[in-house]
Structure 1
Amino acid sequence: MTAQELVGVVLLLGVVVLMGDLVRQLLTGELPVGRLGSILWAGFIDSLYIGLAAIGLSMTYSILQFANFSHGDLITTGAFSGWTVAYLIGGFGVADLSSRLLLRANGGAQPGTVGMDVFAAPVAIVLGLVTAVVVTVLVALAIDRLVYRKLRNEGGIPLLIASVGVALALRYLLAVFYTPETRGVVAQAPKLAGVSVHQLTLVVSAIALITGVHLLLQYTKLGKSMRAMSDNKDLALITGIPTERVIFATWVIGAGLAGAAGYLIVLDRGTVSINLGWFLLLLIFAAVILGGIGSIYGAISGALVIGITINLSLVWIPSDMNTIAAFVLMILVLIFRPDGLFSGVQTT
């Protein structure tokens, strides 16, 4: 047994012990079944927005062949742009323009006063989501045109370094305009059958977007071209596949999903900050690596595992340490399956 395998066995035994303890807590009533259900539901919710963002990151890697570190700040861009429009529409005639335009940067336009929930301002919420997608796509296309296109033939390392610079630039541009303060922008949501309406909105929106991506990849000519290019770019060029069109579509889909994820995260959490996407980026990378780099369905599966793991770990560790559990699990999987759960299947 190698040292690596020994570490994997130790980690695996640790997971088995924790699962045994979980069963013990359930049988003794130390962990109520209702609380376990709430934990799993929270894990499912987290996995949806992590999954949306992970799909875009996985597509960027498989087709453009670089790890895009600006992806997290595209999420933040979607969050701020979408909620700005939601405030501009929902708060019209209720709060002053500057408070709405700057997302309460001056302390005005309280979420409850403006009515930022799905029932009170459904049109504003929906148009905000659409805006988050559109603005994030436009920003991503502009970045590709100005930065990444010129470096595309230089290899993955220059692109990766450039993406770090782009990430910092996006984040601090948002900070200059909106200020770096974290603020609440969503009113308390009403509940249906004990579940937040905002969470239900997130579930419906995320599943619809994921289903749309699946249908596009599997049943359209563009989707088949994207899969072909991710498998073998040189062969795709020889066979006449319009690679620039595929790259354009990759940015549109990946950035659109990132923007939607950012907007929906805020709808669920209620707060927004310039570090929103940056703090999520490691979990998103973990989901992509865990599922198998380049696999869309692997990214979704990895996100589900990550989301449930970080929430289930709260049974044993405090919330400010729960991301550790996700990375321990990722290490465990990669020791025994280095290519991830889906073995690095490209885009399919």
Structure 2
Amino acid sequence: MGITETVHDGRGALTERPAAAVVGVVAGYLLLDLLVKLAGTSVFFMGVKVIGGSLTISSLAAMALDGLLVGLAVGLAGIGLSMTYSILDFANFAHGDTVTAGAFVGWVAAYVAAGLGTGAPLADLVMFDTGLQLSVAMTPLAVLLGLIVAAVGTVAVVLLIDRLAYRPMRGADSISLLIASIGVALALRYVVAFLFGTQSSGVSSKGFQLVLLDLAGQRPVALTDNELALLVVSVALMLGIHLLLQRTKLGKAMRAMADNEDLARVTGIPTERVVRLTWILGGALAGVGGYLLVLESGTISFNFGWILLLLIFAAVILGGIGSIYGAMAGGVVIGLVDSMALIWLPSGLTRAAAFFALIVVLLVRPEGIFGGVTTA
């Protein structure tokens, strides 16, 4: 009887949720293929390789580490987008270009601080034309100053945007605000392009490597000083956001406003002040996230935040729209998938794998990983 019920339940699940069943089959195939690759063998059927290949554990660990680092920065930037959605109730398409603006402001400050004693012209320092390559180990004070300026500068940018564009539309519907944010995004992007040009610039390089894993003659997995800074700062800021939401009056006010703005206003919560502090927190995190991504990758360009915006939206949707913890978790998942998809796909298609993972999660859990959990 038990076996009969099990079979019946299995058939019911296949009938009611065929997409989930397909996802399970694909996931099982990829896992089996990964294990066979790690074993260094292949399985053929009628002369065609079905699964397998060659993959070392150190290569897998390096991909996972890279994906984790990118995912943390994406999750950090995604917190601001999630805050904006949960409290202001609109999808802010200017968020990616806010990330870009913060990164440029921070790196200009870092470059000027590092190059003042070299005799290089100030104009060349501002335009990243001196060939300097900064790192946490070689120029720690300049990198730290840039990080602070990235946060403060981005806050100034988002407060100015809110004052000029969003505050006059505070009572408008979410579609109007979304369209306004697209206009803000275009304006920000081309202001940055006008000031700094459209070419990518190299601004940072690694200073030292900390070996994390060295497997019996295989290529070691190492963490550079810049990557270590990204890891530590991202985790510390995420922990700080958690404590702010759960332990402070501001966090309680933000959660109350995200749940019911009208009720929050009636109970005496200063909603306009909460909105302003939301912009401050979200802007600071966006600027820091962009700055850290450039620190890790080594290059900066006028449209990198716009390109990154797709991953940020994917992370927020995957984690559960309106959930800050979802943005954190979604960023890590998207980063890992984007990096580890190299096992099966060419480098140019890994971004598609990240969005495929988003679709898969939504098929299995439509509300997202932390669906139903708002600002808290």
Taking structure 2 as the reference length, the TM-score comes to 0.88
Query: 1:319 offset after TM fit, Å?
Result: 1.3
Unaligned runs of 5+ in 1: none
Q: Which has the larger radius of gyration?
A: 2
Q: How high is the sequence identity, in percent, across the aligned residues?
A: 50
- Tell me whether 24-33 or 229-238 shows the greater mean CA deviation: 24-33
Measured against aligned partners, the alpha-carbon deviations of 1:118-153 in whole angstroms (never above 9, x if no partner) come to: 122111100000000001001000100110011121
Measured against aligned partners, the alpha-carbon deviations of 1:22-71 in whole angstroms (never above 9, x if no partner) come to: 01111226211111111110111011100101111001000000000000
Contact persistence 2:138–2:207 (CA under 8 A): no
Quick check: 1:27 aligned with 2:61?
Answer: no
Query: 1:4 offset after TM fit, Å?
Result: 9.8
Contact persistence 1:64–1:247 (CA under 8 A): yes
Query: 1:20 offset after TM fit, Å?
Result: 1.1
Q: What is the correspondence of 1:19-168 to structure 2 with a 5 Å cutoff?
A: 19-28=31-40, 30-94=54-118, 95-104=120-129, 109-112=130-133, 116-168=134-186
Contact persistence 2:320–2:372 (CA under 8 A): yes
Contact persistence 1:58–1:294 (CA under 8 A): yes
User: Amino acid of the residue matched to residue 126 of structure 2?
Assistant: L
Taking structure 1 as the reference length, the TM-score comes to 0.95
Q: What is the match of residue 275 of structure 1?
A: 303
Query: 1:15 offset after TM fit, Å?
Result: 2.2
Contact persistence 1:4–1:335 (CA under 8 A): no
Provide the C-alpha distance between the structure 2 equivalents of 1:179 and 1:26, rounded to a whole number of angstroms: 45
Q: What is the correspondence of 1:181-330 to structure 2 with a 5 Å cutoff?
A: 181-193=199-211, 194-330=222-358
User: Amino acid of the residue matched to residue 20 of structure 1?
Assistant: L
Query: 1:11 offset after TM fit, Å?
Result: 3.6
Query: 1:5 offset after TM fit, Å?
Result: 4.2
Unaligned runs of 5+ in 2: 1-12, 42-53, 212-221
The one of 293, 318, 335 equivalent to 2:363 is: 335
Provide the C-alpha distance between the structure 1 equivalents of 2:116 and 2:299, rounded to a whole number of angstroms: 21
SS at 1:18's partner residue? Answer: helix
Provide the C-alpha distance between the structure 1 equivalents of 2:161 and 2:364, rounded to a whole number of angstroms: 38
Query: 1:111 offset after TM fit, Å?
Result: 2.1
Shift in CA distance, 187/329, structure 1 to aligned 2, threshold 3 Å: closer
Provide the C-alpha distance between the structure 2 equivalents of 1:320 and 1:172, rounded to a whole number of angstroms: 26
The one of 16, 19, 28 equivalent to 1:16 is: 28
Aligned residues: 341
SS at 2:374's partner residue? Answer: coil
Higher relative contact order (CA 8 A, sep 6+): 1
Quick check: 1:172 aligned with 2:190?
Answer: yes
Provide the C-alpha distance between the structure 1 equivalents of 2:201 and 2:29, rounded to a whole number of angstroms: 40
Provide the C-alpha distance between the structure 2 equivalents of 1:155 and 1:3, rounded to a whole number of angstroms: 40
